[in-house]
Structure 1
Amino acid sequence: MEFTVEYQLSAGEVTRAFKRGLRRGIRLLRWGMPAFLLGAAAICASVGAFAATAGMVAGAIASPIAGAWAYRRLFRRMAVLLRAPATLRFTGDGYEVRTELSTVALRWAIFDRVESTPEFWLFYRDRKFAAFLPRAAFDDAQQAAIDNIVASRSVAA
């Protein structure tokens, strides 16, 4: 199997893929950090460190807001690069994405897990979101070929 396609991601595709792929990290940011800070505030309050308690509570309130802002800022920078017209070349060993500014080649074996959704293939490495491919870029035969390659690493959507 070897084929090449030309594709340009839309802003909506990039947004949806990242929201889906990063949902675990976003959930941790939204709930984990405030819970940790509130627990630390309770410990500080129990030993009478009220200034530290106030700081921890303020941090628990501000961390989801600051984290969301940081994610959006980072995402905007990355989205510009991801939305460039690209040539995607696929082989049995991996795939290559070539744009005017960069070339990235990845082997299938680098990914621990692939989540197949109706819109994307989401690739994970060490339980972290690493890459994605939009299904819309491929015809039915190409989608079937990619599905066959990643089937051993897939998790149902």
Structure 2
Amino acid sequence: MDTEGSLAPETPAEAREEYGALAPAAKVAVREAARAMEFDREEYAERVTGEVVGTVRDALFASLLRVHVGTGEEFDAWLDDHPGYEPDVAGSENVERVVWHPVPFAGEGGVAVAATFHDEREAALGTLRRRAFGRVYREHLPASGDGEGDAGPERGGPEA
């Protein structure tokens, strides 16, 4: 079994704090992408909205979640060692590998969001992280496009 990623919030408040800390990185990523696409000030102001920056922040948060990768037996052993966690598994039971992300504050005593895979490790990691974000974290975080992430030209757009 191996582990990758850095975010493993223990509480909803910690998840919100980590999510909030990603706002500057999301703004920079969007601004640099717009610059690479040669958006002028007008196009930037028209196309880069708070929702766009929020979506990038969502993706950054999900992509940084700490994930365990192992065999089905290792996942079962992990669940045995963490009896309060409810497994939320997507995929087939007939494959050998599992990726999972435990969320201690979800459900009654924690949820282990998981996905099974055969060969496509990176695809499974992406699927799991999107599932964990959508199924657990989304309800505890500010909505994308709430205005927090607006990075128009007057706030550091491509020509600032």
TM-score by length of 2: 0.29
For CA contacts below 8 A with separation 6 or more, give which structure has more relative contact order: 2
More helix as a share of residues: 1
